[in-house]
Structure 1
Amino acid sequence: MSSQKGFIAGLADVKSLAPLPNANRYSQIITRFAPNPDFVLHIGSLRAVFLSHDYARMYQGKFILRFEDTDPRLKKSVLEYYGQIEKDVKWLGCQWDEEYTMSDRVPIYYEYAEKALGQGFAFVCTCEPDQFKAIIESGRACPHRSRSPTENLELWRKMLSGGLKEGEAVVRVKTETTHPNPAVRDWPAFRIIDPEKYPHPRVGSKYRVWPLYNFSAAVDDHLMGITHIIRGKEHLTNAVRQTYLYKHMGWSYPEAIEYGRLKMIGFKLSKSEMVKELEEGLVDGFDDPRIPTVASLRRRGYSPEALRKIVHEMGARPVDATLSWDNINATNRKEIDKLAHRYNFIPNPVPMDVDHVSQAFVAHLPLHPELPSLGNRTLKVVPREGIARIWISGTDLQVFEKAKVVRLMELFNVEIHSTSPDLVKATFHSQEYAKARELKARLIQWVPDEQHISCEVVMSDATKTKGFGETNLLGEQVGSIIQMVRFGFGRIDSKEEPLTVYFAHK
């Protein structure tokens, strides 16, 4: 419980969450996050996981992680994604109290299927799909709806044993056949999936009859004592369906909180499109910077605290919300700017030879301009026969067209004599910063020839910007979030040459 108290104390810097409806009716608040491991988590998953976890912690309740993996045909799970989702959820700061995997619980769903069939509020339908659709859309009852419990249980056993094949039978839960929404009418609860053609990645060909979402989720929500279901409003119809099963079973339906849809500006959020891009090799893995997965955000240097703030601002309101990279980046910048160490990165480097340098110079640059307690980093320039070589960015060559005197940041002032894409020649002018201010000299970023390393920055479109960084970068750990001065924020991905940084944003 101490970790929960610590989390609650940490909510002071974010917008408060609205109270849960009817929270006082329950001795313990229990929520769940139930991903399908057919892909990793992405930006669209954030509201469900953050709100479910944070509300449980706010009420000192229980948070459950539950893998919904009971469709080996259309939403086939991938073994790698179970562990990756766990990693994502932990990185987001949403440690769960209990974990379940639905494919381990199939016998439980069978038990409740037999109860439903035996008590007459479910039946085995052997209609052709098109035939059932025509019947139900007309408001009529399926001819198999009147089968006795004995007949239904016999057909159920044939489904399990292989006497009925894929597509030949479906277990349906009885509702009103004239319900205003045809999708609610006698909804499907179990179907046969050919276990040889579509083996499950975890349990292989062990089962041939699988529950559909509305049955397995409803049973588990009851058995696990879920008090509040927090999900998108695309589940409104599912809530209506599940309510029928709860009434049949004599259970009380949990509080259902459906938040509005999320409109994305500047990027796609379709899981199917991301999976397709991955399968076709259009992106390089699920943490590719071009797709908005949680793994990609982590790799690029986004902060879970920033993502949590964004979700808390949206809350669980039923109104639709809009999110853009500008929103995300602005919030993330406020978070990571607080502690990100500053380093010089020189894209497209060009050498500059400065003559008349009579001594070595040492520049002491702060790791963070507003946090002197973090200390400084040191860059040293040592001339050889009066000439000091440093490296500047090729993008700064245009500055020299108008400014003949520039200041190398925290070092000294130089007078430019000649420029080319291969070499800039300059002369030591003066050391004092006051002189640079007097001359209105532009500030130029640089690294010394003696203290530079090859770097590569992977941009958000997966292109690579090559350049030189200062050797002080080697003192950082892989995973450190840094600011490349005048270039942007990023996360160190590898320290092998070239040192690789994944770019987050300006």
Structure 2
Amino acid sequence: MNDDLRERVEREAEKHALLNAVKHESDADVGAIMGPLMGENPDFRPHGDEIPGVIGGVIGRVNDLAYEEKRERLEDLAPDELAEIEAEDEEDEHDLPSLPNPDDYDEVRMRCAPNPNGPWHVGHARMPAVIGTYRDRYDGWFCVRFDDTDPETKRPDLEAYDAILEDLEFLGFEPNEVFRASDRLETYYDYARELIEVGGAYTCSCTGEEFSELKNAGEPCPHRDKDTDTVLAEFEDMVAGEYESGEMVLRVKTDIEHKNPALRDWVAFRMIDTPHPREEASEFRCWPMLDFQSGIDDHLIGITHIIRGIDLQDSAKRQQFVYDYFDWEYPEVVHWGHVQIDAYDVKMSTSTISERIEAGELDGWDDPRAPTLQSLRRRGIRGEAIVDAMVGLGTSTSDVDLAMSSIYATNRELIDDETDRRFLVRDGNQVPLGGSPPAEANPPLHPDHEDRGVREIPVGDSVLLEPADLPGREERIWLKGLGCFQFTRDTLQYTGEEIDVVREGDVDVVHWVPARESVPVRMRTIEGDVTGRAEPGVAELEADEMVQFERVGFVRIDRSGDEDEETVVYYAHD
């Protein structure tokens, strides 16, 4: 091996040793770099027997450097390769893939565009969770834009505007700006006029059936070649409310022979007789279709990246015609599949949930049986747990399944350490006590935090046990926080035995409550209401406190009670 070749080998070996060391944040390994070294430099292969001896010293010198020194040296030798490593490392830190071409824009700008026809169900959380996460990741911007330009078939609910913003806050995000499309009608009219003037739109009075036949046959509408002045005049009549619903529409002129009939001369504006529920918009009768309204807004607001369902691919294609007429650049688009969520009997649909509420089958949007964010919030599920689960789904174009158990698992991690314990017995059986047990039980408030203290539970002369926990004749059980008892002659006789009987595996540990001084509890669950009795201290808890009923699950206190009035709790998960 001549000196020139040796120098090249040493230089390339240093680069690959640094790449290996920086990527894995460890010492470089001879075996790990031989493959890439020889692959990039095929002229080294005839000297394969000599190369390990040449690069050994180089690798030793690299390994003597501190990590930052290795990184600085690599930045001098191979800045592009270092950038790739750091990009891969950044990707590994995120559940979401990188957005397409984020560096092509001064700022990543995204939008969450709900229809305010009701509060959000669980599936709705995916969009704000993902775009909010991207906003934070890229130090970007996102808005909430209420796409409320359909006052008839997807009629807005006036209370939903604020409810959705509250749901967004619950998830942990605050939009940079909020828009209501129904405030922007004049803007859409102005761009419709411009579109007409450049020959990109025409008014059409065909019935839906007539146009459908023409469209499917690839034949032009007879109104397609109207002169611009006529189209403008008829559009002004639409704006003035001179036509009835279904009498006139404004169509975007596309390609009447396009291979996809859904893209042929689509409707941009139509007449709607039903007044908008917002007073500010109630006088308007000429309303834009979502593809026109959303397309105009995305450009004017400066949206750089759109995330939408895979079933809405035609929306981008329709809007592209408008963008081409105006010579605008279309935003980057990420399509994803639908999310399916288990655990609920109620369909994940705003209209279905609303119908069930109106029929009296659900108490409201926060009924524990309703698959809504309001319901999860009332049950004590944290927004962070929902966001974590939604982000974990990624942005696959395939439909994905979300198990509520994944949300519960994350929520459990968030609340377990700070949540005190209590006893609740459901459908309890009353059993007398004998043998002079202690007058008071003192189980810990939290098994991992002795410093929080203990509960003070009066024992009395009898306890309530859940039916499944009743022991057989002469069997022993350990009442948590109280002691060992043997079931004899329909009585639990206190034995005074030490906790060793539990450790030896001979005695089951069960929870209990005093029969006389326990308090009534109604636990609202996803399957329906459950009644029971809890230790007396539960009645003193404040609304919104989280509690773990031992061996039952975590609940949120909804309304405190007393010995006579029920304490109402909402079940979160086990």
Figure out how many residues of one structure are paired with residues of the other and give that number: 480
- The residue that corresponds to 1:457 in the other structure is 523
Q: Write the distance in 1 (CA, Å) between the matches of 2:445 and 2:107.
A: 49
Q: Write the distance in 2 (CA, Å) between the matches of 1:382 and 1:167.
A: 75
> Is the contact made by 2:472 and 2:487 (CA closer than 8 Å) also made in structure 1?
no
Poorly superposed stretches of 4+, deviation over 6 Å: 11-14
Q: Write the distance in 2 (CA, Å) between the matches of 1:13 and 1:277.
A: 43
Q: Write the distance in 2 (CA, Å) between the matches of 1:494 and 1:283.
A: 19
**Aligned ranges 1:146-157 → 2 under 5 Å:** 146-157=225-236
- The residue that corresponds to 2:404 in the other structure is 325
**Aligned ranges 1:82-121 → 2 under 5 Å:** 82-121=161-200
| Structure 2 SS opposite 1:49 | helix
Q: Report how far residue 13 of structure 1 moved.
A: 12
> Is the contact made by 1:14 and 1:312 (CA closer than 8 Å) also made in structure 2?
no
The one-letter amino acid of 1:163's match is E
**Aligned ranges 1:127-142 → 2 under 5 Å:** 127-142=206-221
- Name the % identity: 33
- The residue that corresponds to 1:162 in the other structure is 241
Q: Write the distance in 2 (CA, Å) between the matches of 1:25 and 1:475.
A: 58
Q: Does 1:440 align with 2:517?
A: no
Q: Report how far residue 278 of structure 1 moved.
A: 2.4
Q: Write the distance in 1 (CA, Å) between the matches of 2:175 and 2:545.
A: 26
Instruction: Specify whether residues 103 and 135 from structure 1 end up closer, same or farther in structure 2 by C-alpha distance, changes over 3 A only.
Output: same
Deviations 1:32-63 (CA, angstroms, capped at 9, x unpaired): 11100112111221221111111111111111
Q: Write the distance in 1 (CA, Å) between the matches of 2:467 and 2:339.
A: 41
Q: Report how far residue 65 of structure 1 moved.
A: 0.9
TM-score, with structure 1 as normaliser: 0.89
> Is the contact made by 2:120 and 2:350 (CA closer than 8 Å) also made in structure 1?
no
The one-letter amino acid of 1:124's match is T
- The residue that corresponds to 1:231 in the other structure is 308
- The residue that corresponds to 2:573 in the other structure is 505
Q: Report how far residue 19 of structure 1 moved.
A: 1.4
| Structure 2 SS opposite 1:63 | strand
Q: Report how far residue 340 of structure 1 moved.
A: 2.9
Match of 2:494 among 403, 428, 432: 428
> Is the contact made by 1:405 and 1:439 (CA closer than 8 Å) also made in structure 2?
no
Cα RMSD of the aligned pairs, angstroms, is 2.3
- The residue that corresponds to 1:490 in the other structure is 555
Q: Does 1:410 align with 2:460?
A: no
Q: Write the distance in 1 (CA, Å) between the matches of 2:300 and 2:244.
A: 30
- The residue that corresponds to 2:448 in the other structure is 370
Instruction: Specify whether residues 403 and 250 from structure 1 end up closer, same or farther in structure 2 by C-alpha distance, changes over 3 A only.
Output: farther
Instruction: Specify whether residues 266 and 426 from structure 1 end up closer, same or farther in structure 2 by C-alpha distance, changes over 3 A only.
Output: closer
Q: Which moved more, 1:438-447 or 1:324-333?
A: 324-333
Q: Report how far residue 431 of structure 1 moved.
A: 4.8
Q: Write the distance in 2 (CA, Å) between the matches of 1:435 and 1:310.
A: 42
- The residue that corresponds to 1:4 in the other structure is none
Instruction: Specify whether residues 354 and 171 from structure 1 end up closer, same or farther in structure 2 by C-alpha distance, changes over 3 A only.
Output: same
- The residue that corresponds to 2:536 in the other structure is 471
Q: Report how far residue 226 of structure 1 moved.
A: 0.8
Q: Report how far residue 366 of structure 1 moved.
A: 3.5
Q: Report how far residue 321 of structure 1 moved.
A: 1.1
- The residue that corresponds to 1:258 in the other structure is 335
Q: Report how far residue 273 of structure 1 moved.
A: 2.2
> Is the contact made by 2:457 and 2:535 (CA closer than 8 Å) also made in structure 1?
no
Deviations 1:366-393 (CA, angstroms, capped at 9, x unpaired): 32x33445x133123355xxxx333322
Instruction: Specify whether residues 183 and 443 from structure 1 end up closer, same or farther in structure 2 by C-alpha distance, changes over 3 A only.
Output: same
Instruction: Specify whether residues 338 and 315 from structure 1 end up closer, same or farther in structure 2 by C-alpha distance, changes over 3 A only.
Output: farther
Q: Does 1:217 align with 2:294?
A: yes
Higher relative contact order (CA 8 A, sep 6+): 1
**Aligned ranges 1:290-369 → 2 under 5 Å:** 290-357=369-436, 360-367=439-446, 369=447
> Is the contact made by 1:452 and 1:469 (CA closer than 8 Å) also made in structure 2?
yes
- The residue that corresponds to 1:20 in the other structure is 99
Q: Report how far residue 504 of structure 1 moved.
A: 2.3
Q: Write the distance in 1 (CA, Å) between the matches of 2:437 and 2:543.
A: 38
Deviations 1:189-211 (CA, angstroms, capped at 9, x unpaired): 111111xx444344353101111
The one-letter amino acid of 1:71's match is D
Q: Report how far residue 402 of structure 1 moved.
A: 5.5
Q: Write the distance in 2 (CA, Å) between the matches of 1:88 and 1:138.
A: 46
Q: Report how far residue 183 of structure 1 moved.
A: 1.0
Instruction: Specify whether residues 364 and 200 from structure 1 end up closer, same or farther in structure 2 by C-alpha distance, changes over 3 A only.
Output: closer
| Structure 1 SS opposite 2:324 | helix
Q: Report how far residue 465 of structure 1 moved.
A: 1.1
> Is the contact made by 1:379 and 1:451 (CA closer than 8 Å) also made in structure 2?
no
Q: Which moved more, 1:76-85 or 1:353-362?
A: 353-362
- The residue that corresponds to 1:393 in the other structure is 466
| Structure 2 SS opposite 1:468 | strand
Q: Write the distance in 1 (CA, Å) between the matches of 2:285 and 2:202.
A: 18
Q: Which moved more, 1:315-324 or 1:327-336?
A: 327-336
> Is the contact made by 2:121 and 2:349 (CA closer than 8 Å) also made in structure 1?
no
Q: Report how far residue 436 of structure 1 moved.
A: 4.5
Q: Report how far residue 327 of structure 1 moved.
A: 3.8
Deviations 1:204-259 (CA, angstroms, capped at 9, x unpaired): 53101111101111111111111111122122111111111111112111111111
Q: Does 1:282 align with 2:361?
A: yes
| Structure 2 SS opposite 1:56 | helix
Q: Write the distance in 2 (CA, Å) between the matches of 1:476 and 1:381.
A: 17
Q: Write the distance in 1 (CA, Å) between the matches of 2:394 and 2:469.
A: 45
| Structure 2 SS opposite 1:206 | coil
The one-letter amino acid of 2:196's match is L
Q: Report how far residue 358 of structure 1 moved.
A: 6.5
Instruction: Specify whether residues 372 and 146 from structure 1 end up closer, same or farther in structure 2 by C-alpha distance, changes over 3 A only.
Output: farther
Deviations 1:397-444 (CA, angstroms, capped at 9, x unpaired): 2xx12552211112111222244xxxxx22221152124545812212
Instruction: Specify whether residues 314 and 145 from structure 1 end up closer, same or farther in structure 2 by C-alpha distance, changes over 3 A only.
Output: same
> Is the contact made by 1:78 and 1:201 (CA closer than 8 Å) also made in structure 2?
no
Instruction: Specify whether residues 436 and 59 from structure 1 end up closer, same or farther in structure 2 by C-alpha distance, changes over 3 A only.
Output: closer
Q: Report how far residue 14 of structure 1 moved.
A: 7.7
The one-letter amino acid of 2:277's match is H
Instruction: Specify whether residues 342 and 140 from structure 1 end up closer, same or farther in structure 2 by C-alpha distance, changes over 3 A only.
Output: same
Q: Write the distance in 1 (CA, Å) between the matches of 2:498 and 2:166.
A: 51
Instruction: Specify whether residues 393 and 495 from structure 1 end up closer, same or farther in structure 2 by C-alpha distance, changes over 3 A only.
Output: same
TM-score, with structure 2 as normaliser: 0.79
Q: Write the distance in 2 (CA, Å) between the matches of 1:393 and 1:38.
A: 44
The one-letter amino acid of 1:80's match is E
Give the strand-richer structure, 1 or 2. 1
| Structure 2 SS opposite 1:146 | coil
Q: Write the distance in 1 (CA, Å) between the matches of 2:441 and 2:399.
A: 55
The one-letter amino acid of 2:513's match is V
Instruction: Specify whether residues 439 and 334 from structure 1 end up closer, same or farther in structure 2 by C-alpha distance, changes over 3 A only.
Output: closer
> Is the contact made by 2:91 and 2:97 (CA closer than 8 Å) also made in structure 1?
no
> Is the contact made by 1:379 and 1:448 (CA closer than 8 Å) also made in structure 2?
no
Q: Report how far residue 318 of structure 1 moved.
A: 1.9
Q: Report how far residue 328 of structure 1 moved.
A: 3.7
| Structure 2 SS opposite 1:413 | strand
Give the helix-richer structure, 1 or 2. 2
Q: Report how far residue 360 of structure 1 moved.
A: 3.0
The one-letter amino acid of 1:216's match is Q
Query: Which ranges of structure 1 fall in alignment gaps of 5 or more residues?
Result: 1-10, 420-424
> Is the contact made by 2:474 and 2:488 (CA closer than 8 Å) also made in structure 1?
no
